[in-house]
Amino acid sequence: MRSVTAALLVILILNSSQILFAQDRYERKSVSYINALWLATPEARAIDDQQVAFMLKTIKRTIEMPRFDYNPLPDALTRDLADAANARKKLTVDELASLMQKSLMPAIVEILKGAIPERGAELVSEERKQTFMATKAKELGITLEEIEKVMNSAYIYVPVLTKLERKQSKKDKSKYTYTIEGGIIWFHLDMTDDEPSVDLKVSQTTLSKGYGSDRFAYESAVENFARNLKIATQEIPEFRLSMPISEVDDGTIAFKLGTKEGVKLDDCYFVGEWVEYPNGDKKFERSGWVRIGRVGNNLKDKTAKSSARAVKKGSWTPGMAVVEHPRLGIDIAFKPGVFYTKITKGRIPIFYGDINLTEDYESYAPGFDIDAQYNLAPATGISQLFFLVGGNFAWPASLEFESNEFTMLTATPPFIWGFHVGALKKAYIGRVAFSMEAKAGMRFMTVEQDFTFGLTEYKYTVKNNTAGAHFNLGFEYAATPDFNIGLFCGYRLFPVSEVWTQEIDPFVEVHSWDEDFPDIDHSGAAFGLYMHYSPPALTFDPLSLLRGALGE
């Protein structure tokens, strides 16, 4: 049925013999899933079959990590849940969790009862086990092999879509914004007692947006949504990669995780020890962190080890443990500073009066750069190499200009903005990092004016356009695994441009051109602070946003 096959539901059952909080080494999990999409609300169901197929494919591709083994779960086990969910017009994450408890879990619990060993004899006889499995398989209409998968299960994972919103841009009818909301529900199948139980463990929610053409906006929102779900999965304590340290050589350590588990160059791991308290609780006590410098290929060589370099170093010895600290691989850098700018006196035409720059301006304009830095190390094999995309904003604060009162009330003071792409290379020495970056992009000296003529509201924009490059050197300190702070200095090379553009929305032909426009020179030194953050999730993909704005 369309209502079943168009539902966002990827159920993962993760194989484990016990609760794995505070484990010192990671053990692979066997995962089962329902190969269908479950859309939990009317808003979520307002998509076509192609969009459904793309979302299912993307979520599966992103969440199915090398650390798990995968097998599909039979439809017969989820038939009652499907019927109950389809009978409701809307389901929140918490409501779906409750519905799973009532509709899906009873069948699973009945199967799990056959996996509970006789406590005195430790194990159920093979004959009794096979008899039970055959009986349940006949009752549920599934195979003995599928029963075996459920009996070896310990966790159920459900990504849920609760909202899908599509909005057309008012300014550009070819552009759309998609908003996706959903979450993750985790259940624990507890087999430690004589009577098995299924307990709600945790539920999390996330938000994702995409912008651009109809198809591109949707697909970029889905990609970002799935990426957020992946990190949320990796952050569950039971599923974080962990392993005892086997070698310590000053600031370099080695351990037996690698390609098979999905370890990547530059991944961050905490180093420390598991401590058990008198009340029985266990906690991982951190003493520093490292970044992966070489990934061992344990697919080809089972003895291969990965090595990592210390960022914050402690007194480490073999036998201590590393624990994964998962992040997106997309960092956000905010750089407030000052940027040398030169503007000659001249006239900027504005409706109902001009902005007259009465004096030459030659000073450092306050502003900031904001960049998204994409780690290229896993793809290139070069540690701490980033592709960056971002923007620049500056305000010539002491710029002298005059105009009539109406223009001063309706128009912005001249400001500078732009966008750029580039590359960044870092080198760490302990917690100190040195960086070099090169960027190329556009800069715009801009004035905007909002006014009403008759019954129509207009927005007028006049700007000077130029293209150039920017080179920076940086010095930063790793305060935490996710946050660096430091300084940068650099030089910008932007030729003086005589290209000015005038636009008015709604469109009206504008002819107000003369030789009195000021000359704008962005070339010169720049320096300021550097702040860098590695987030666990993003509302949107900055690169996809730029691609969407530029025509995708």
- The ranges assigned to domains in the chain are 2-238, 242-324, 330-534
Contacts of 324 (CB under 8 A, 6+ apart): 234, 240, 241, 242, 267, 268, 269, 270
Question: If you write DSSP's letter for every residue of 164-203 in order, what string do you get?
Answer: EEEEE-SS-TT-EEEEEEEEEEEEEEE-SSSS-EEEEEEE
| H/E segment holding residue 85 | helix 79-86
Q: Any idea what the Cα angle at residue 56 is, between residues 264 and 51, rounded to 5°? A: 125
CA-CA distance, 134 to 24, in Å (whole number)? Answer: 37
> Which residues, in sequence order, are bridge partners of residue 485?
477, 531
Q: Which one-letter DSSP state was computed for residue 454?
A: T
pLDDT at 93: 64
Q: For 125-159, give the DSSP string.
A: -HHHHHHHHHHHHHHHT--HHHHHHHHTEEEEEEE
**What tokens appear for 174 in the block?**
């070819």
Please choose, from the candidates 340, 345, 347, 343, the residue with its C-alpha nearest in 3D space to the C-alpha of residue 462: 347
Encode pLDDT of 452-496 as tens digits: 877 888 888 889 999 999 999 999 999 999 999 999 999 999 999
Q: Yes or no: is domain 330-534 CATH 3.40.50.620?
A: no
- pLDDT at position 20 is 37
pLDDT surpassing 70 at residue 64: yes
Q: So what's the pLDDT on residue 506?
A: 77
Q: Exposed, middle or buried: residue 427 (CB in 10 Å: 0-12, 13-18, 19+)? A: exposed
Chain segment 354-374, per-residue pLDDT in tens: 788 888 889 999 999 999 999
pLDDT mean across residues, the chain: 82
pLDDT digits (tens, 9 = 90+) for 114-151: 554 433 344 445 555 555 556 555 555 555 555 555 55
Look at residue 525 in the predicted model and tell me its pLDDT. 96
Which position has the higher pLDDT, 212 or 93?
Answer: 212
Closest CA to 393 of 446, 342, 434: 446
Residue 169 to residues 136, 181, 217, 509, Cα–Cα distance (Å): 54, 20, 12, 22
Give the number of other CB atoms < 10 A from CB of residue 264: 14
In the DSSP assignment, the letter for residue 289 is E
Q: Which helix (H) or strand (E) holds 227?
A: helix 214-234
Measure the CA–CA gap between 172 and 215, rounded to whole angstroms.
15
- Distance of alpha carbon 263 from alpha carbon 286, whole angstroms: 20
DSSP single-letter state for residue 549: H
- Residue 244 near residue 255 (C-beta atoms within 8 A): yes
pTM equals 0.84
At 360, which amino acid appears? D
Q: Domain 242-324 class?
A: mainly beta
Distance CA(344)–CA(359), nearest Å, equals 7
Does position 438 have pLDDT exceeding 80, yes or no? yes
Regarding beta strands 500-505 and 197-212, do their DSSP bridges make them parallel or antiparallel, or are they unpaired?
unpaired
Range scoring the smallest mean pLDDT among 176-190, 412-426, 476-490? 176-190
Predicted pLDDT at 460: 87
Share of the chain above pLDDT 90, in %: 47
Query: For 243-285, what is each residue's pLDDT tens digit?
Result: 999 999 989 999 999 999 999 999 999 999 988 888 878 888 9
The Cα 484–Cα 325 span in angstroms is: 16
Distance CA(481)–CA(272), nearest Å, equals 14
pLDDT for 550 equals 84
Using alpha carbons only, what angle is made at residue 540 by residues 490 and 437, rounded to the nearest 5 degrees?
A: 15
Side-chain-facing half-sphere of 384: CA atoms under 13 Å: 16
3-state secondary structure of 263: coil
Q: What is the pLDDT of residue 153?
A: 53
Instruction: Name residue 191's amino acid.
Output: M
515-547: pLDDT as tens digits = 688 889 999 999 999 999 999 999 999 999 989
Task: Report pLDDT for 155.
Answer: 72
Q: Per-residue pLDDT averaged across 315-344, rounded?
A: 95
